[in-house]
Amino acid sequence: MTSSPATVPRWVPATLVPLANILLAFALSAVVIVLIGESPWQALKLLVLGAFGNSEAVGYTLYYATNLIFTGLAVAVAFHAGLFNIGGEGQAYIGGLGVGLVCLALDDTLPGIVLIPLCVLSGALFGAAWAIVPAYLQATRGSHIVITTIMFNFIASALMVYLLVNVLIDPGQMSPETREFRASAALPYVHELLRAAGVPLATSPLNLAFVLALLCCGGVWFVLWRTRLGYAIRTVGFNPSAAIYAGIDPARTVILAMSISGALAGLVGVNEILGVQRRLLLDFVAGYGFTGIAVSLMGRNHPLGIILAALLFGALFQGGAELSFEMPTITREMVVVIQGLTILFCGALEFMTRPYVENLYRRLAS
Amino acid sequence: MSAELYLLAILTLDSTVRLSTPLVLASLAGLFSERSGVIDIGLEGKMLAAAFAAAATAAVTGSGWLGLACGIATSVALALLHGFACITHRGSQVVSGLAINILVSGLTTTLGIAWFHQGGQTPTLPADARFRPITWPGADALSEIPVIGPLYAELLSGHNALVYAAFIAVPLAWWVLYHTRFGLRLRAVGENPAAVDTAGISVAGLRYRAMLVCGLLCGVAGAYLAIAHGAAFLRDMTAGKGYIALAAMIFGKWRPVPAMLACLLFGFLDALAARLQGVVLPAIGAVPVQLIQALPYILTVVLLAGFMGRAIAPKASGQPYVKER
């Protein structure tokens, strides 16, 4: 590795190495597709067409991306504080509960313009609350946050089943769901807004939560790199003992970072519950919390990278769904395979390709 | 009445043993890995992969033993992949374990649908392709004797070979960990790898050996689910058992016998939840089954918070070992 004294510019490990890792993950996914007897090239064409072929497809892609931006940002904020928040799944679930409870309680009395911000706030607060307990235990009692957040995912799942089956269920209904919210409590769809402005757009679940997700990206960037708190978070993540000498309280910083992280994950509830389902139901998180880890790793924990990675995975979700219609042997689970390979190569094996890529760069540059 | 109640208790304990078996095997697997200093949240994925490989092989060849072998081989391969990522390339152990879980969850379903065309399920196995219950000598004759009869016939006799293997593995693991040279070194490498390295023993070599043991045990656990306890592979059939096993290992404070007791406790809760589904008890009312199901996770968090004695992980777990130069 160190044979050549020529230094490699910083952008090489920052862009070329992740790119090589992604390509490796996709190449292996292609091998899986060959293994089940289909053509990867054909599959890729169908996938891209299914994700971007028309305005409905694009709408779906952006709708999936919205959830992934939220959970990706959640993982990234915790990561900058040196924490691995594997609990996005549970935090998003409980965030949805927060959104739903406010809607159920107040949608008869409050107009949408007041109710919707309240719901957003409640979703963020519930998500943050679900993250604060593991954060507090990590910060003050040294409980391993990876394990506690995993446990909290399962506890959240059991809690939601209990609440929906026994407490919140709409009486006279078989499936464990609440009643539908009043129309005032709905986040407008993008196609509705654009049609009102004279732009014809196909119907899709894309709603204003997408704008909220983009705002959160800007907000996370600003907080992490332009504020005192962000500096504290990154310092604690880099070196907790140095942070103490810099006058930063690591315990407080860990708890704050995790509450931001949980709040971001909780906003998945805004997109799913307030934007699309418009009632509270089971399992609406459907793995977005875990995919957020892939998104954050691929986006190198930077909001801009996270938007790109979320778009890619959103396209994979949507394109994958379309693909499974055209090629019945390839199911939506193929996307889960790609996700796993991405986490493996961009996360666990991120250092493997680096010497090769850097050597290649040196050879090409000289 | 009391005889009926006694039989009910025996039957609940019987299903406790059946439900605990995969947990015992997987928590021992996690124990070997973590004692060597490698965190393994990928128990779930390794079990699932082994279950699929075992069921697929048994369905195609008709041999339970070949299924078991294939399940173990698959699980060991994944354990070595985990080692390759975290020991050789010093990647994040948590990320690697998670990647394996997600990859396997997608891959088993994808391959299952492509190969067997049954929505991700493998064909139901005939009896002779599975591990069948072993009836102990005289179990039928003794079952009529009150008290001891049901205990012998239901609780001790009538399990398949993998159940007995799991409970034999516990004292074996204890002996290996505390009474062999390998065990001593394994515990040392999880606490202070630099000292082990100074003594001229390869840290990576020891950790890779721990990965092999971990893969082996997870392989048996997965095979048990698909070809001994069940008769086919079902989508995501591990359903969080790998994480429960991880919790049991922490609950047992990284020691084999307490980990087994935790597994039995969690297995008992599982059996109880199944039995109490929809039952209205006098004085308590309807039992919130979800609470019983969530209890293992809640108890583990309470334990980790230090309210039930300290749970202290091996000191070097989670950190890749970098040799000083």
Residue-level pLDDT, tens digit, chain A, 366 residues: 444 446 788 887 778 888 888 899 999 999 998 988 888 899 889 989 999 999 999 999 999 999 999 999 999 999 999 999 999 999 999 999 999 999 999 988 888 889 999 999 999 999 999 999 999 999 988 888 888 999 999 999 999 999 998 888 888 888 889 998 988 888 889 998 999 888 888 899 999 999 999 999 999 999 999 999 999 999 999 998 999 999 999 999 999 999 999 999 999 999 999 999 999 999 999 889 989 998 998 888 999 999 999 999 999 899 988 888 888 778 888 888 988 998 899 888 888 888 888 888 888 887
CA–CA separation, B20 and B278 (whole Å): 23
Facing A143 at nearest CB: one of B104, B290, B304 = B304
- Mean pLDDT is lowest, of A59-73, B117-131, B237-251, for B117-131
Per-position DSSP letters for B223-258, written without gaps between them: HHIIIIISSS--TTTTTTHHHHHHHHHHHTTT-HHH
Q: A154 to chain B: which residues are within 8 Å by CB?
A: 240, 243, 294, 297
Q: What is the mean pLDDT of chain B?
A: 88
Which residue has 């697997």 as its token pair?
B29
Task: Please tell me the total number of residues recorded for chain A in this structure.
Answer: 366
> Backbone phi, then psi, for B244, in 5-degree steps?
-65, -40
Q: B104 to chain A: which residues are within 8 Å by CB?
A: 340
- Cβ–Cβ under 8 Å, residues B222 and B241: no
| Alpha-carbon distance B131 to nearest alpha carbon in chain A (angstroms) | 30
Instruction: Indicate the angle between helix axes B203-224 and B2-35, nearest 10 degrees.
Output: 150
CA–CA separation, A228 and A5 (whole Å): 38
Q: A347 to chain B: which residues are within 8 Å by CB?
A: 91-92, 95-96, 98-99
Q: A300 to chain B: which residues are within 8 Å by CB?
A: none
Q: Is B215 helix (H, G, I), strand (E, B) or coil?
A: helix
Q: A337 to chain B: which residues are within 8 Å by CB?
A: 103, 106-107, 110
Between B300 and A163, the higher pLDDT residue: A163
- The predicted structure's pLDDT at residue B82: 95
| Alpha-carbon distance A75 to nearest alpha carbon in chain B (angstroms) | 12
Whose CA is closest to B167, among B323, B279, B23, B293?
A: B23
| Alpha-carbon distance A287 to nearest alpha carbon in chain B (angstroms) | 10
Between B219 and B315, the higher pLDDT residue: B219
Instruction: Indicate the angle between helix axes A209-226 and A303-326, nearest 10 degrees.
Output: 150
* Chain B residue with minimum CA distance to A333: B106
CA–CA separation, B2 and B11 (whole Å): 14
- Cβ–Cβ under 8 Å, residues A95 and A318: no
- Cβ–Cβ under 8 Å, residues A94 and A125: no
Q: Which amino acid is at A85?
A: N
- The predicted structure's pLDDT at residue A2: 46
- The predicted structure's pLDDT at residue B29: 96
> Which residues have CB under 8 Å from A104's CB, separation 6+?
A168, A178, A179, A181, A280
- The predicted structure's pLDDT at residue A74: 97
Mean pLDDT score, B204-220: 95
Supply angle C-alpha B28, B32, B33, rounded to 5: 115
Percent helix, percent strand, percent coil in chain B, to nearest 5: 70, 0, 30
* Chain A residue with minimum CA distance to B240: A154
- The predicted structure's pLDDT at residue B308: 67
Whose CA is closest to B302, among A88, A151, A92, A91?
A: A151
- The predicted structure's pLDDT at residue B325: 58
Best to test chain B binding among A32, A148, A155 (most B CBs inside 10 Å): A155
CA–CA separation, A274 and A259 (whole Å): 21
Phi-psi map region of B232: left, alpha, beta (phi>0 left; psi -120 to 50 alpha):
beta
Helix (H) or strand (E) holding A232: helix A228-238
Between B145 and A338, the higher pLDDT residue: A338
Over residues A74-130, the pLDDT tens digits come to: 999 999 999 999 999 999 999 999 999 999 999 888 888 899 999 999 999 999 999
* Chain A residue with minimum CA distance to B303: A143
Facing A151 at nearest CB: one of B91, B111, B301 = B301
- Cβ–Cβ under 8 Å, residues A177 and A279: yes
Which residue has 């070595």 as its token pair?
B80
Which residue has 């609470």 as its token pair?
B291
- Cβ–Cβ under 8 Å, residues A191 and A206: yes
Whose CA is closest to B173, among B222, B219, B213, B230?
A: B213
Q: Beta partners for B286?
A: B280
- Cβ–Cβ under 8 Å, residues A312 and A339: no
Over residues B80-104, the pLDDT tens digits come to: 999 999 999 988 888 899 899 999 9
Q: B114 to chain A: which residues are within 8 Å by CB?
A: 35-37, 329
CA–CA separation, A115 and A121 (whole Å): 10
CA–CA separation, A326 and A315 (whole Å): 16
Mean pLDDT score, B236-264: 91
Q: CB–CB of B293 and A148 under 8 A?
A: no
Binning pLDDT at 50, 70 and 90, where does residue B309 land? low
Here the tokens at position A294 are: 């892939």
Q: CB–CB of B297 and A152 under 8 A?
A: yes
* Chain B residue with minimum CA distance to A344: B99
- The predicted structure's pLDDT at residue B312: 76
- The predicted structure's pLDDT at residue A335: 85
**How much is the pTM?**
0.89
- Cβ–Cβ under 8 Å, residues B92 and B100: no
- The predicted structure's pLDDT at residue B187: 93
- Cβ–Cβ under 8 Å, residues B18 and B228: no
- The predicted structure's pLDDT at residue A343: 86
| Alpha-carbon distance A192 to nearest alpha carbon in chain B (angstroms) | 36
Q: CB–CB of B294 and A155 under 8 A?
A: yes
Q: What separation in angstroms does the CA of A357 have from each of A13, A227, B116, B139?
A: 8, 35, 40, 66
CA–CA separation, A231 and A225 (whole Å): 7
| Alpha-carbon distance A130 to nearest alpha carbon in chain B (angstroms) | 13
B234 touches chain A (CB under 8 A): no
> Backbone phi, then psi, for A341, in 5-degree steps?
-65, -35
> Backbone phi, then psi, for A189, in 5-degree steps?
-75, 150
Q: How far is CA B31 from the centre of its chain?
A: 10
Facing A331 at nearest CB: one of B86, B110, B240 = B110
Q: B240 to chain A: which residues are within 8 Å by CB?
A: 154
Q: Is B280 helix (H, G, I), strand (E, B) or coil?
A: strand
Q: CB–CB of B105 and A148 under 8 A?
A: no
Q: CB–CB of A154 and B85 under 8 A?
A: no
- Percent of chain B scoring above 70 in pLDDT: 96
- Residue A215 CB: number of other CB atoms within 10 A? 10
CA–CA separation, A326 and B92 (whole Å): 38
* Chain B residue with minimum CA distance to A75: B95
Q: Which amino acid is at A275?
A: G
- The predicted structure's pLDDT at residue A154: 93
The ipTM of this complex is 0.87
Supply angle C-alpha B216, B221, B226, rounded to 5: 125
Over residues B169-202, the pLDDT tens digits come to: 999 999 999 999 999 999 999 999 999 999 999 9
- Residue A266 CB: number of other CB atoms within 10 A? 32
Q: Beta partners for B280?
A: B286
Mean pLDDT score, B38-60: 94
* Chain B residue with minimum CA distance to A161: B290
- The predicted structure's pLDDT at residue A1: 44
CA–CA separation, A74 and A69 (whole Å): 8
